[in-house]
């Protein structure tokens, strides 16, 4: 990846201004995207959806149609030079096909989204510090911001231009158009630290378009199992709000929510949990605390409590939280919940691997 960007900027120095000053995160993001494309090649629909979403999202960086040709040619050159004698005609043809497909899908999706803003300016209208390293922000976009409950968006703060980080939207769409974000400051994280420690009401942030597939199927009559750790509660809360707002569905679908934390004070949004329960009669909340043996309720790691107490028979399952918790929970669910009924966006894991 470092070699690719060296070739790109040497041949096209004007493109350097489109990228952040520190390129480590950018190199990791591109590497992860290419890896995902590689292992998605046998699932054309999933790959197409992923690439189309990337194409729409990249408009916020100022990417134009001509940039895709430059990107594809430079990537092919970097691969050929790095691979040396192992770069034969068959390999070259395979990469040419893959890169052409990636670029064409992304460019077409960006063109289809041309009527939408590439990014939205939003005012911070409320900033609440819930604990030392966590804040809940309420934003008001200057223009209507379309999304579905459970999706996430990217945020750029003015202090760190061209640096975008993903955060889940913590509410279903509201009549006033406001959005809630639950932000935990990551040690060394530029954007998260700025949002938690330095941002105030009245400040402006930039928002990228909504992304993600952790969206409830409202045509389904299956019960709902939600498993949330830490700020992974944010998208789960939005999903439950959206389900509660569906006419005729409140009584039909039972919702069980498992929320995990180390200690009771780490359950930073207890009033919202109580509000959700009062609004949704079919919602049952189970809190699992791993390091607070004196508190009421189940004790232990969240995935252990889920294995002991959850029923996922005939359920749509939503999982969100820190990467270790998500991986452990997915191992519990393996061979018990089909992929068709399992909802878990990868952005949380990717974001947690690097400072945000």
pLDDT digits (tens, 9 = 90+) for 95-142: 999 999 999 999 999 999 999 999 999 999 999 999 899 999 999 999
pLDDT higher than threshold 50 for residue 198: yes
pLDDT digits (tens, 9 = 90+) for 42-86: 899 989 999 999 999 999 999 999 999 999 999 999 999 999 889
Answer whether residue 216 is part of any domain.
no
DSSP 102-160: HHHHHHHHHHHTTTS-SSEEEEEEEEEEEETTEEEEEEEESS-----TT-EEEEEETTS
Which CATH number do you get for residue 132? Answer: 2.40.30.10
Q: Please give the distance of CA 87 from its chain centroid, rounded to a whole number.
A: 35
The Cα–Cα gap between 170 and 189 comes to: 21
197 and 264 housed in the same domain: no
Dihedral sign (CA 121, 123, 128, 133): positive
Portion of the chain with pLDDT greater than 70, in percent: 95
Which CATH number do you get for residue 92? Answer: 1.10.490.10
CB atoms within 10 A of CB 35: 10
Eight-state DSSP code of residue 197: I
pLDDT higher than threshold 70 for residue 323: yes
Q: What pLDDT does residue 326 have?
A: 92
CB neighbour list of residue 186: distance below 8 Å, 6 or more residues apart: 192, 193, 352, 355, 356
Q: What pLDDT does residue 41 have?
A: 86
Confidence category of residue 352, pLDDT binned at 50, 70, 90? very low
Q: What pLDDT does residue 264 have?
A: 86
pLDDT digits (tens, 9 = 90+) for 249-306: 545 688 999 999 988 888 898 888 888 888 888 899 999 898 877 777 788 899 899 9
Which pairs count as long-range contacts for 94-102, CB under 8 Å and 24+ apart, including other chains? Answer: 98/37, 98/38, 98/41, 99/72, 99/75, 100/72, 101/51, 102/37, 102/51, 102/72
237 and 338 housed in the same domain: yes
Eight-state DSSP code of residue 175: T
Lowest-confidence region among 46-50, 151-155, 310-314:
310-314
Q: What pLDDT does residue 60 have?
A: 93
Which CATH number do you get for residue 269? Answer: 3.40.50.80
Q: What pLDDT does residue 348 have?
A: 43
pLDDT higher than threshold 70 for residue 355: no
Residue 192 three-state SS: helix
Answer whether residue 286 is part of any domain.
yes
The Cα–Cα gap between 124 and 137 comes to: 7
**Maximum average pLDDT range among 91-95, 139-143, 158-162, 313-317:** 139-143
Answer whether residue 146 is part of any domain.
yes
pLDDT digits (tens, 9 = 90+) for 224-237: 999 999 999 999 99
Answer whether residue 143 is part of any domain.
yes
93 and 146 housed in the same domain: no
228 and 327 housed in the same domain: yes
Domain that holds residue 31: 2-112
Residue 31 three-state SS: helix
73 and 154 housed in the same domain: no
CB atoms within 10 A of CB 78: 18
Enter the tokens of residue 321.
Answer: 């939280």
Burial 86-117 (b: 16+ CB within 10 A, else e): eeeeeeeeebeebbebbbebbbebbeebeeeb
95 and 129 housed in the same domain: no
pLDDT higher than threshold 80 for residue 339: no
50, 80, 112: which is the final residue of a domain? 112
Answer whether residue 323 is part of any domain.
yes
152, 172, 207: which is the final residue of a domain? 207
Answer whether residue 212 is part of any domain.
no
Answer whether residue 294 is part of any domain.
yes
Residue 245 three-state SS: coil
Q: What pLDDT does residue 346 have?
A: 65
Answer whether residue 218 is part of any domain.
no
98 and 34 housed in the same domain: yes
The Cα–Cα gap between 115 and 252 comes to: 38
Confidence category of residue 350, pLDDT binned at 50, 70, 90? very low
270 and 235 housed in the same domain: yes
89 and 126 housed in the same domain: no
197 and 304 housed in the same domain: no
pTM comes to 0.86
193 and 258 housed in the same domain: no
């Amino acid at each position: 990846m470092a070699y690719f960007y060296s070739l790109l900027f040497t041949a096209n120095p004007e493109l350097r201004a489109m990228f952040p000053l520190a390129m480590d995160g950018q190199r990791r993001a591109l590497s992860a995207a290419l890896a995902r494309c590689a292992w998605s090649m046998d699932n054309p629909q999933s790959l197409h959806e992923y690439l189309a979403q990337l194409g729409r999202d990249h408009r916020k960086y100022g990417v134009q149609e001509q940039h895709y040709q430059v990107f594809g040619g430079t990537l092919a050159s970097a691969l050929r030079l790095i691979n040396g004698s192992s770069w034969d005609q068959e390999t070259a043809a395979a990469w040419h096909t893959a890169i052409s497909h990636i670029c064409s899908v992304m460019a077409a999706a960006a063109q289809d989204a041309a009527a939408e803003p590439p990014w939205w300016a939003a005012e911070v209208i409320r900033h609440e510090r819930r604990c030392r390293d966590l804040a809940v922000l309420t934003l008001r976009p200057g223009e209507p911001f379309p999304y579905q409950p459970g999706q996430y968006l990217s945020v750029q703060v003015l202090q760190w231009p061209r640096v975008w980080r993903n955060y889940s939207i913590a509410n279903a769409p509201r009549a006033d158009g406001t959005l809630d974000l639950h932000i935990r400051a990551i040690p060394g994280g530029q954007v998260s630290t700025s949002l938690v420690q330095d941002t105030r009401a009245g400040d402006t942030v930039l928002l990228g378009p909504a992304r993600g597939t952790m969206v409830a199927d409202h045509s389904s009559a299956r019960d709902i199992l939600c498993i949330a750790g830490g700020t992974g509660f944010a998208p789960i809360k939005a999903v439950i709000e959206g389900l509660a707002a569906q006419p005729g569905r409140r009584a039909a679908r039972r919702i069980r929510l498992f929320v995990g934390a180390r200690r009771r004070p780490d359950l930073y949004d207890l009033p919202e949990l109580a509000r959700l329960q009062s609004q949704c009669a079919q919602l049952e909340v189970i809190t699992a605390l791993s390091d607070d043996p004196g508190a009421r309720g189940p004790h232990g790691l969240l995935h252990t409590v889920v294995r002991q107490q959850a029923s996922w028979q005939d359920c749509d399952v939503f999982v969100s939280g820190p990467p270790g918790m998500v991986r452990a929970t997915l191992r519990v669910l393996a061979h018990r919940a089909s992929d068709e009924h399992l909802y878990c966006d990868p952005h949380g894991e990717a974001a947690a691997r690097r400072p945000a």
